[in-house]
Structure 1
Amino acid sequence: MIPELGQLALTFSFALSLLLGIVPLYGSYTGNERALMLGKPLALAAALFAGLAFVALAYAFYTDDFTVINVASNSSSVLPWYYKLTATWGSHEGSMVLWVWILTLWTAAVALFSKQLPLLMQGRILGIMGWIGVGFIAFSLFMSNAFERSLPYFPVEGNDLNPLLQDFGMIIHPPLLYMGYVGFAVSFAFAIAALLSGKFDSTWARWARPWTLAAWMFLTLGIMLGSWWAYKELGWGGWWFWDPVENASFMPWLVGTALIHTLAVTEKRGTFKSWTVLLALATFSLSLMGAFLVRSGVLVSVHSFATDPSRGMFLLVFLLIVIGGSLLLYGLRMRSVRSQARYQLFSREVMLWGNNVFMLTATLVVFLGTLLPLFHQELGLGTISIGEPFFNAMFFYLTIPFSLLLGLGPWVRWKQQKWQPLIPPLAMIAVAALIVAVGLMAATQSVQANVALIGLLLGAWVGMSALGEVGQRIRQFGQGLAGIRKLSASHYGMTTAHIGFAVMVIGIAMTTTYSVERDVRMQVGDTVTLSGYEFTLLDLYKLDGPNFGGEAADLKVERDGRFITNLHAEKRFYTIQRTVMTEAAIHARLSRDLYVSLGEALPGDAWSFKVQVKPFVRWIWLGGLLMAIGATWSLLDVRYRRKVLRRAAAPSGDDQSDAKKELAHA
């Protein structure tokens, strides 16, 4: 009965989203204020019923209702309860229900927290979000029904959850990633609403920017958590594999980063309007393409769901409608998005423009590297492989000019900047960055790696430049707390995000260059030395988990005769799915990770082990966390809260009078 109620709730959500897509847009076209006012209750009701559908599905998993095909295929009675709930979104069908619920939650959030938007603009945004919801809910209802039963025959036991997903990271990673993916639908809706109205000004950018920041923050956390999960769970010791599905999430992140910067230019200077609109359209389109790649089966990945050509065709048609329709509307409104503001060659506008060029170039590199092998094969030209060396080399060359501009950009003023006053402080920062880089290289007792030195230089340059610029502004505003308080929250958020990027660059450079590993054969009592650490195998024994067995190894780690830690590595065998998984043993410190994974059994009561020492690998995820904190800090800026929204009118003045005039005109 509960699954049927979930199906019914999802059907109600579909009907309400359809009404949301029709009624407010009809009101904006005809000037019907009552129709516009219905947008908010429709959005809230659609979110409520989508939430009920998700709860019903989660209940079916929790109670082991194997009459539901989705539950029988992705769960089991011996699965721990928290992984049963994780299994709710561990399949294609269940993940789409979560996707739909998150989409309706974003729509409801726009309805609740955009009270000061002009009524016509709010109606258009909610109407567009409604149509996006119609597309995804229709896909969930008609192409991937999560509530379908197998009655009258059903299994007494399920197939268990994919062992790859039986990890804490998978409890949090998909919801965060979906929050980012789907959150960019709000930016897309703002852009389409602006194209429909023909109004592009700083106020519009100020309305759209916090929603974009929020989506970017969630996507950043989702990608970082996915990287950490792969590092910990797959047993290889790598933090990024240039997997096609990883790339699918990376592309909207890159374009979304560029969008945040262009929104800042549009808000501050009223320029880059075309950039802003196109990037908003492209970011959500790339999010849809990521969904298509993961769910269509066109690419093979450990992250992708089961293949189904009909599902892929549905998503492809939906993707083409979104991209084609939005670009057609942009072409019709192209004249209204032209920018009139002027600026000189040496200005912050040009710095941001340059960084965006590098961001989009990086996106193009990832796009071609991910899809070119597929196109090459489909055209009958044979099979080609584009792997890690290509991506690493291209990003190495792109990161250098990008980092230089990123460090310089905050120092440069809008419209025009004289270069002479910047020479003394930037020269000091450059020298300090060189000292820090050489000092860290000396601390590692190795100076032969040019990649590490360049990475350290770039990271130190960006981080110290961001801190130096904040210090200079505080001195200009006044001494002590007075100067600190005068800087906006968005400025501190920008600085924190730039420092996060710097920390991540340093982490990537150091762990890529100085990580060491050995594949060794060990028996109980054997000792292996790596980078000064002594790994001693203490014991080997059998595992007995709730839904798995296998082998485990305990090791002791010492350095210079001093005890460091005990490590516990596992090789699990999941009995239902007949799958073997590696659970690596990791001892984490800010400066390095000790990483041991258990391999295969060898003759003579021995086992193979992969032993690794990975310096500064934690800095990669720390940098991502700092970037997300920076976005959150920026969201606290007073401009994006009530006081500013009261002033957030069209250039002519008061919001309500402007809305009434536009309604009357409509």
Structure 2
Amino acid sequence: MNSAVDSVSQTLGIIPEIGQFSLILALAASVILSIYPLIGASRGNTGMMLLARPLSYAMFGFLLVSFGCLTWAFIDHDFSVLYVASNSNSLLPLEYRISAVWGAHEGSLLLWVLILAGWAAAVARFSRALPLDAVARVLSVMGMIGVGFLLFVIVTSNPFERTLPFFPVDGRDLNPLLQDPGLIFHPPMLYMGYVGLSVAFAFAIASLMTGKLDAAWARWSRPWTTAAWIFLTLGIALGSWWAYYELGWGGWWFWDPVENASFMPWLAATALIHSLAVTEKRATFKAWTVLLAILAFSLSLLGTFLVRSGVLVSVHAFASDPTRGLFILVFFMLVVGSSLLLYAIKGAEVKSHGKHELASRESMLLGNNIMLMAGLVVVLIGTILPLVHKELGLGSISIGAPFFNSLYAWMIIPLALLLGAGPLFRWRRQNMKEINGKLLFALIAGAAIGTALPWFFADHFEIWAAVGLSLGAFIVITSVQETWVRATHRHGFATGIRKLGNSHWSMFLGHIGMAVTIIGISCTQLYSIEKDVRMATGDSVTFSGYTFTFEGTKHADGPNYEGFKGVIAVSKDGRALPPLKAEKRLYLVQRMPMTEAAISAGFTRDLYAALGEELDDGAWAVRLYYKPFIRWIWFGALLMAIGGVVAMADKRYRFGSKKVQEAV
């Protein structure tokens, strides 16, 4: 019996070595994938090109084994693995032991490269209708990216490094900030978006290699780009929500540098989606579309560098040494430099055939792209300039929320107007007499609604809130107008509405989602109320029509922390509402205090309470917020993501469909 137990123990003890060996095999597969299929495509060697798919599956399979081994090390409390000892503890609940796998630098990087391999395997599986040489080039480019990141993992960030021959009896525990359901969902979702942009990048580079940038390329690339954009949208929304309730900021976006690192590729990917539509339908914007594909993935790599290099001070950033930062910077420069060099060489061969006039949907989409790029430049400058300023020895400067908010307040006006008006325009040429009345009605009605709502329903009038509400209403009205025109163009409304395709409904949901988000931001930014108060048992405070009464605290201990729970009764107009129960925790291993906010969520407002420090005579410092329409921000993001899903469900973009076969 003992020998059997010892045998099992010895077998489990080598699991980290299996994970390490699988990493090396994945690197070997990615090296071969980056070379052989590409040579085969250039020589027309079918046998070499056919290797692309099995090599992609092999890379993904080996990385899946490696990731599984690291996960088991966390589940099994294998503190002989340095990464496990640094980020886990025997008291840590199982769900957080699993999510701790990607809770720090080494494991999150392994998740990054696993997702990259997963995207490559998905391309290999779901692009069987595409030409073999195109698939070979795309997968080869993804293999090259895999080589860079696998070398990064193995050389500088090995998650399987051992503490042997001596190892701790227990681990140092996961950062208490990360012991939250947000860690389970947010990083994988965000990485799916980040890394998914590598597919659009690979399609662009593969097309540049051959000089074949046509409607077929745009159609092949579009569903993959949309899928990555969906994940990135949801990942950013989840991160915003997590920061809102976990960090006690009481806000939704603080323009933190690491938040900006994910927002920049989202802006580029949003522009790319719109540009791909023009390239596919009108055979124009080709060179611009390729450049956007390169830019979107390059910004994902830049975000990876910013988070992992140690150049940023942020609650989101991974502590890292300069060697890691130098490695990822060199890799970033190689990827961006080589892709831009290829673009410079081959870009001149790209010819756009479609023609359009100023009054056309193409022009509206171009204007949309210009505004998105302007927003991207603002975020990039605001994020990078303090770093450059300091490195040049010019001292430290801080660029915070006021800078971004003031610029974006003005930039959102033309962007929203273009977003709302664009769908009313026809491709190539639009007779303005046909839509002037619709645009004028939407502008007047939108302005009336946006002005009336805060005038009659808010306790004071804010001009920027009226602007935001007007823009949101304008987008909604024009979206409804465009739906009506399409539905009644050839049939009655009841028949026509059923005949509208996925492309229409995806655009409708995406634009309505943006309108909802704009409304949520406007109301939250300008009508939120914050109160920092001292409250003893029985004390009350009233604002925004709500009365908050502190009923005292009680112990609320968890599996690895001690804490207090402050109970705050809430009432409005004498009617009792569910109480707020805010927590103050002290985690036992790291002796780190944490605040767990209490939130009463509603469709039109949130009530938010955070428990601060205990004061004299049993009183507590309490922070209370009234947040109107804050949920609309995340609901808008969800609508946008659903719009993306509807677009992907379009039969035209299913590989193997008749439309794709015709394009091939």
For Structure 1 versus Structure 2, the TM-score category normalised by the shorter chain is over 0.9
Q: Is the 8 A contact 2:484 2:493 kept in 1?
A: no
* Structure 2 CA distance for aligned equivalents of residues 478 and 369 of structure 1: 51
Corresponding residue number in structure 1 for 2:121? 108
Out of 441, 450, 469, which is 1:437 matched to? 450
Corresponding residue number in structure 2 for 1:271? 284
Q: Is the 8 A contact 1:490 1:636 kept in 2?
A: no
Structure 1 residue 638, shift from structure 2 partner: 1.2
Corresponding residue number in structure 2 for 1:93? 106
1:381-420 map, 5 Å: 381-420=394-433
Structure 1 residue 465, shift from structure 2 partner: 1.1
Corresponding residue number in structure 2 for 1:466? 479
TM-score (norm 1): 0.96
Write out per-residue CA displacement over residues 132-172 of structure 1, whole angstroms, 9 at most, x where no aligned residue: 11111111111100011101101111111111111111110
* Structure 1 CA distance for aligned equivalents of residues 580 and 571 of structure 2: 11
Paired residue secondary structure (2:16): helix
* Structure 1 CA distance for aligned equivalents of residues 164 and 534 of structure 2: 52
Out of 349, 352, 355, which is 1:336 matched to? 349
Corresponding residue number in structure 2 for 1:421? 434
* Structure 2 CA distance for aligned equivalents of residues 261 and 148 of structure 1: 45
Supply the AA of the counterpart residue of 2:256.
Answer: D
Out of 144, 155, 176, which is 2:189 matched to? 176
1:55-134 map, 5 Å: 55-134=68-147
Supply the AA of the counterpart residue of 2:154.
Answer: L
Write out per-residue CA displacement over residues 383-418 of structure 1, whole angstroms, 9 at most, x where no aligned residue: 111111000001111100010111000000111101
Residues 1:189 and 2:202 aligned together:
yes
* Structure 1 CA distance for aligned equivalents of residues 661 and 156 of structure 2: 42
Write out per-residue CA displacement over residues 328-378 of structure 1, whole angstroms, 9 at most, x where no aligned residue: 001111222131321111111111111111111111100110010111111
Out of 607, 611, 617, which is 1:598 matched to? 611
Q: Is the 8 A contact 1:190 1:208 kept in 2?
A: yes
Supply the AA of the counterpart residue of 2:423.
Answer: P
Corresponding residue number in structure 1 for 2:256? 243
Residues 1:282 and 2:290 aligned together:
no
Out of 354, 363, 371, which is 1:350 matched to? 363
Corresponding residue number in structure 2 for 1:144? 157
* Structure 2 CA distance for aligned equivalents of residues 321 and 482 of structure 1: 54
Corresponding residue number in structure 1 for 2:24? 11
Out of 366, 371, 384, which is 2:379 matched to? 366
Out of 156, 166, 191, which is 1:153 matched to? 166
Structure 1 residue 443, shift from structure 2 partner: 4.6
Q: 1:649 to 1:321 in 2, by over 3 A?
A: farther
Structure 1 residue 484, shift from structure 2 partner: 2.3
Structure 1 residue 429, shift from structure 2 partner: 2.2
* Structure 2 CA distance for aligned equivalents of residues 244 and 216 of structure 1: 20
Corresponding residue number in structure 2 for 1:638? 651
Paired residue secondary structure (2:251): coil
1:292-307 map, 5 Å: 292-307=305-320
Paired residue secondary structure (1:476): coil
Supply the AA of the counterpart residue of 2:303.
Answer: G
Count of matched residue pairs: 651
* Structure 1 CA distance for aligned equivalents of residues 417 and 460 of structure 2: 22
Residues 1:205 and 2:253 aligned together:
no
Structure 1 residue 434, shift from structure 2 partner: 2.7
Out of 28, 49, 67, which is 2:41 matched to? 28
Write out per-residue CA displacement over residues 497-540 of structure 1, whole angstroms, 9 at most, x where no aligned residue: 10000000000000111000111011111111121101111121
Stretch moving more, 347-356 or 537-546:
537-546
Q: 1:284 to 1:513 in 2, by over 3 A?
A: same
Supply the AA of the counterpart residue of 1:140.
Answer: V
* Structure 2 CA distance for aligned equivalents of residues 447 and 266 of structure 1: 47
Supply the AA of the counterpart residue of 2:605.
Answer: R
Out of 503, 517, 522, which is 2:516 matched to? 503
Q: Is the 8 A contact 2:190 2:232 kept in 1?
A: yes
Residues 1:615 and 2:628 aligned together:
yes
Out of 504, 508, 518, which is 2:531 matched to? 518
Supply the AA of the counterpart residue of 1:618.
Answer: R
Structure 1 residue 646, shift from structure 2 partner: 5.5
Residues 1:544 and 2:560 aligned together:
no
Stretch moving more, 583-592 or 523-532:
523-532
Stretch moving more, 45-54 or 277-286:
45-54
Structure 1 residue 647, shift from structure 2 partner: 4.3
Q: Which runs of 4 or more aligned residues in structure 1 lie more than 6 Å from their structure 2 counterparts after TM superposition?
A: none
* Structure 2 CA distance for aligned equivalents of residues 19 and 233 of structure 1: 44
Corresponding residue number in structure 1 for 2:4? none
Supply the AA of the counterpart residue of 1:404.
Answer: L
Q: Is the 8 A contact 1:181 1:287 kept in 2?
A: yes
TM-score (norm 2): 0.97
Write out per-residue CA displacement over residues 443-498 of structure 1, whole angstroms, 9 at most, x where no aligned residue: 53345200100000001111221122112101113125531233220221011010
Corresponding residue number in structure 1 for 2:500? 487
* Structure 2 CA distance for aligned equivalents of residues 121 and 223 of structure 1: 32
Corresponding residue number in structure 2 for 1:586? 599
CA RMSD across the alignment: 1.2
* Structure 1 CA distance for aligned equivalents of residues 344 and 630 of structure 2: 46
* Percent identity between the two aligned chains: 54
Supply the AA of the counterpart residue of 2:224.
Answer: W
Corresponding residue number in structure 1 for 2:62? 49
Q: Is the 8 A contact 2:105 2:320 kept in 1?
A: no
Stretch moving more, 634-643 or 290-299:
634-643
Structure 1 residue 249, shift from structure 2 partner: 0.3
Paired residue secondary structure (1:604): helix
Stretch moving more, 523-532 or 331-340:
331-340
* Structure 2 CA distance for aligned equivalents of residues 369 and 89 of structure 1: 28
Supply the AA of the counterpart residue of 2:490.
Answer: F
Write out per-residue CA displacement over residues 531-586 of structure 1, whole angstroms, 9 at most, x where no aligned residue: 11011111212231111112210111001110111111011111111211110000
Paired residue secondary structure (1:630): helix
Paired residue secondary structure (1:333): helix
Q: 1:485 to 1:644 in 2, by over 3 A?
A: farther
Unaligned 5+ runs, structure 1: 656-666
Paired residue secondary structure (1:116): coil
* Structure 2 CA distance for aligned equivalents of residues 443 and 168 of structure 1: 39
Q: Is the 8 A contact 1:212 1:260 kept in 2?
A: yes
Q: Is the 8 A contact 1:61 1:84 kept in 2?
A: yes
Q: Is the 8 A contact 1:199 1:336 kept in 2?
A: no
Stretch moving more, 8-17 or 425-434:
425-434
Q: Is the 8 A contact 1:116 1:646 kept in 2?
A: no
Supply the AA of the counterpart residue of 2:373.
Answer: L
Supply the AA of the counterpart residue of 1:570.
Answer: E
* Structure 1 CA distance for aligned equivalents of residues 457 and 597 of structure 2: 25
Structure 1 residue 643, shift from structure 2 partner: 5.8
Structure 1 residue 591, shift from structure 2 partner: 0.1
Structure 1 residue 642, shift from structure 2 partner: 4.3
Paired residue secondary structure (2:41): helix
Paired residue secondary structure (1:159): coil
Residues 1:259 and 2:265 aligned together:
no
Structure 1 residue 110, shift from structure 2 partner: 0.3
Corresponding residue number in structure 1 for 2:546? 533
Paired residue secondary structure (2:610): strand
Supply the AA of the counterpart residue of 1:475.
Answer: T
Paired residue secondary structure (2:355): coil
* Structure 2 CA distance for aligned equivalents of residues 212 and 442 of structure 1: 42
Q: Is the 8 A contact 2:227 2:648 kept in 1?
A: yes
Q: Is the 8 A contact 1:490 1:635 kept in 2?
A: no
Corresponding residue number in structure 2 for 1:456? 469
Structure 1 residue 428, shift from structure 2 partner: 2.5
Q: Is the 8 A contact 2:128 2:655 kept in 1?
A: no
